[in-house]
Structure formats: structure tokens, C-alpha cells
Amino acid sequence: MHRVATSRPLGDTAIMAMCGTHIRSCIALTAMCAKQGRYGICSSSQAAVLAVSTLRMYSTSHVKYGILQRANDRFERFLDHRFPSFYIYYHTFMKGFKLLVEDMTEARKIKVKMDKTGIAYKELPYREMERLRLVRKDIIKTIPLIVISLPPFAICLVFLLMYLFPRQLLFHHFWTPQQQRDFKKLYHQQRARHHYSILTGMESTVPRVEAWMLRSHLLSLCTKVQSGAHPSVSDLQLVQPLFSGHPLGLYNMRSSHMRSLSAQLLLTPWLPAFMARGRLGAKALELLHLDRALGSLGVDQLSDAEVDEACYLRGLDTSCLSAGQCRQWLQQWLQLSSSVKESESSLLLHSMVLLSVNYPAP
């Protein structure tokens, strides 16, 4: 009597192996297409490796995980031997894929906890709040890739595009360490282009301030920053009332000034005014909630990498600063943020320029 084979549900490890094997086959095909002029037509042994790798996707339910692992190891050795430069990107991509799955799993757990306990986003601990923010940002960036990969066999084209345009199509999980440094510096350069227009926009509002004392403080602050000096927290607190209403409140500032702030946050500035203000307001509140959670946790509890990421998010170029300078700046930022109300969140958007452009003080 023949034994009837029954299928069993696959575990997370097997599913990861299935996805990884399919990804490996597409990456190999992309690499061979890119290198065809150098190596010529694929040999029969190479084609066999590709065929086996692709077929694994469709026969995993009948193959034990150990066999898959050995096949994957042989594939990695083959890729490292024939395409060493491409292997660096391949290894980075596979590591990034695993990190993305881990982040999404952790984000799902946080969302389940929020639903069960009724905790609002702004009440989450700092690291959980930051995890949700990053996952949401990454998912939004992957949507175009998902749409492109929907047609049959388009996944190989997607991998070729990701190889050619990593900054535009990928995010930090899928960048090499050198790419992370280069892209972060490039993004900061894009932000810095709008510093001058934001400072001049603030200065142009001085005549519109009715209270003489506030007008004097605002003019002094703008002059101080434009002269190359780093302002203190007390300098910003003196003009804090101006950011809750007229003329620098989020819904009272001029449209051109609002669009400069949006561009400084790397948001699309040419949306309709009401949409741009809404996105800007959401970013300001998100930053304020992150600050409050970070203040509760304490800067001393963060690793150097977390401090670097927190400073970069708040507008500081950390490429030429030490870990101690970054921590000192972040403490200064939190000192200001702790006194900011939600109605004054526009001050945080302006402080991304005011507190960062001349730091550290010469």
C-alpha cells in the first residue's frame, strides 16, 4: 500500500527560505545580464544552478529545510566566485530583507498591543514609536516597487532597477554602510539648500510682529544666526509665542515660507497649500511626540547610532561631529522641546535650521 503524501503548513523559517531562494535566482539572473558582455553566454553548469535555484520556489513543500540551506550556501559561493563586486550588494540585500521582515513583525506586535490596551501612538515608549515611524516610511517607499513587480517575470527587472538606482528605490536596510553615509550626506545637502530661504522668510516677518519686544527678539535671533553664531535655548524661548499664531504659526505663515519648510523636511512642496500644511503639521506633531518620549527615556539610554539617527532626523549634519557633540546637541534640543506646546510645534520645524546651521559654535 502506498503512503499518501500530506502537506504540512510551512514555518516562518521555511517561508523565508522560499522567498530568499526566489530572490537569489532573480539576483543571479540580473547579475549575469549585467556581466554578459564580460563573461559571455552562461555555461551549462551556471544554467543548472539557476534552474535548481528557481525550482526550489515551487517544490519547498517537498524538500527539507537542510537541503535548501545547502543549496543556498552553494549558490552564495558561486556568486562570490564569479561576481565578487555584485556579491556585496547581494549580501546587503539579503541581510536587509531579513531586517525588514523583523521590523515588520515587531511593528505588527506593537500595533496589536496598541489595539488590546488602547494605547495611543503618542503614549508609546520612544523605541516603539521610532520603530513604527521607520516601518511606515519604508513601506511607503516600497509601494512603487511592489506595483512594478506585479506583472509576471517583472521581479528580475525590479532587481536590476534596484541595483542601478539604490537611493531612489531602496531604503536604509538595503544600503551598504558606505551608501548609508553617502546618501545621508546627500540628503542633508538637499535640506541645507533651503536654510537661507527659511532664515530670510523669518526675517521678513519682523515688521509684521506687533509687540515691540517680540519684534526686537526675533530680529536679534535672525541676525545672530545669519552672522554665524549658534543661538541658545533661551534665545528661541524669547520668541516662542510667535509660533503659535501670527506670523509664524503653522496655519498663519506665508505660503512660500511654508513650502520652504516642507522642502527642508524633504516633503513635496508643490502640493495644494492645504495638503502641504496638513503634512507639515503632522510631521511637527510626530516630532514633538518623539521628543516627549525621548525625554522620558533619557538621552543617556541611547546608543551612539540611535543618537546619530535622532540628531539627523532633527536637522543636524552628524558626519563631522563626535558622539559627545551629538549628545550635547540633542540635550539642547530636548531642553527647548520640553517647553513647546502642540500649538507651538512650528517652532520645532524652524529650530531644525536655527539650532543646526551653526553648530558647533566656532
Q: Which of 57, 82, 107 is the last residue of a domain?
A: 82
Phi-psi region of 42 (alpha: psi -120 to 50; beta: other; left: phi over 0): beta
SS (H, E, C) 249-262: CCCCCCHHHHHHHH
Same-domain status, 73 and 207:
no
> Within a domain: residue 170?
no
Shared domain for 335 and 215, answered yes or no, is: yes
Q: Is residue 163 part of a domain?
A: no
- The boundaries of the domain holding residue 58 are 1-82
Residues 6+ apart with CB under 8 A from 315: 191, 264, 351, 352, 353, 355, 356
What residue type is 327 in one-letter code? R
82, 100, 131 — which closes off a domain?
82
Least confident window among 55-64, 106-115, 163-172, 272-281:
55-64
Contacts (Cβ under 8 Å, ≥6 apart) of 184: 312, 319
209 and 74 share one domain? no
Dist. CA 351–CA 334, nearest whole Å: 11
Q: Are 64 and 13 in contact (CB under 8 A)?
A: no
pLDDT of residue 85: 65
Has residue 133 been placed in a domain? no
Indicate if the pLDDT at residue 307 is higher than 70.
yes
pLDDT of residue 127: 95
Distance between CA 334 and CA 124 in Å, rounded?
18
Tally of domains in the chain: 2
Which has more pLDDT, 68 or 317? Answer: 317
In a domain, 171, yes or no: no
Mean local confidence (pLDDT), 261-266: 92
Q: Is residue 178 situated within a structural domain?
A: no
**Choice among 29-43, 198-212, 268-282 with the minimum mean pLDDT:** 29-43
Same-domain pairing of 73 and 214: no
Residue 133: which pLDDT band, with cuts at 50, 70 and 90?
very high
Find the mean pLDDT for residues 43-70: 47
Instruction: State pLDDT tens for residues 63-76.
Output: 455 676 666 667 66
pTM, to two decimals:
0.73
- DSSP for 330-358? HHHHHHHHTT--GGGTHHHHHHHHHTTTT
201 and 350 housed in the same domain = yes
pLDDT in tens, 176-233: 778 888 888 999 999 999 999 999 999 999 999 989 999 999 999 999 999 999 999 9
**Do 196 and 337 belong together in one domain?**
yes
Average pLDDT, the chain: 79
Tell me: do 200 and 336 sit in the same domain: yes
- Listed residue (138, 145, 144) closest to 102, CA to CA: 138
Does the residue 135 lie in any domain? no
Residue 44 inside a domain? The answer is yes
Write the pLDDT tens digit of every residue in 318-356.
988 999 999 999 999 999 999 999 999 999 999 999 999
Cell of 300: 543617556
Task: Choose the final residue of a domain: 63, 82, 101.
Answer: 82
